[in-house]
Amino acid sequence: MNSKTTRAGVCICADDVDNMVRFYRDTLGLHTDFSGGTFAAFDTAGGYLSLFMYSRKAFSNDLGVEYIPHKGINMTFEVALWLPTYADVDAEYERLMALGVPNPTGKPQTNFGLRSFFITDPEGNLVEIGSMSES
């Protein structure tokens, strides 16, 4: 594979797709044409299917494996959402904190040229919101 021509996508396996779609669509503001069911795709700058969701139950049935749920914060992966500038990160932090979104790491920090903070979605998945651009 050539990484310059290969598109990548991240799938969040969800116990409650409807609730997760409400969070990513209504709270975070990502666009989807989802109208119910076991699958949802979100539009991002990376293109269609860069972020999508699928029912854990349906996926475990498709694979023929038992699903064993995690407890607490899911430390197996994170979803990273990149904003244009540091100021956008700070504004999004303030907006999400006013909505009461869980934030396990506190205020945005700048390390190695990246300004970011973490939240968790309704099922405990880590979401990093950041930027690599001061202006």
pLDDT digits (tens, 9 = 90+) for 28-45: 999 999 999 999 999 988
List pLDDT tens digits, range 59-94: 999 999 998 888 889 888 899 999 999 999 999 999
Pick the CATH number of 10-63 from 3.30.720.120, 1.25.40.10, 2.40.10.330, 3.90.320.10: 3.30.720.120
CA gap 57, 34 in Å, rounded:
18
Q: What is the DSSP string of 59-85?
A: HHHHHT-------SSEEEEEEEEE-SS
What is the structure's pLDDT at 69? 82
Q: How far apart are CA 7 and CA 46, in angstroms?
A: 8
Once rounded to an integer, what is the mean pLDDT over residues 7-18? 91
pLDDT at 63: 95
Q: Which pTM value belongs to this model?
A: 0.89
Domain assignments of the chain as residue spans, ordered by start: 10-63, 74-131
CATH code, residues 74-131 = 3.10.180.10
6's tokens: 């290969």
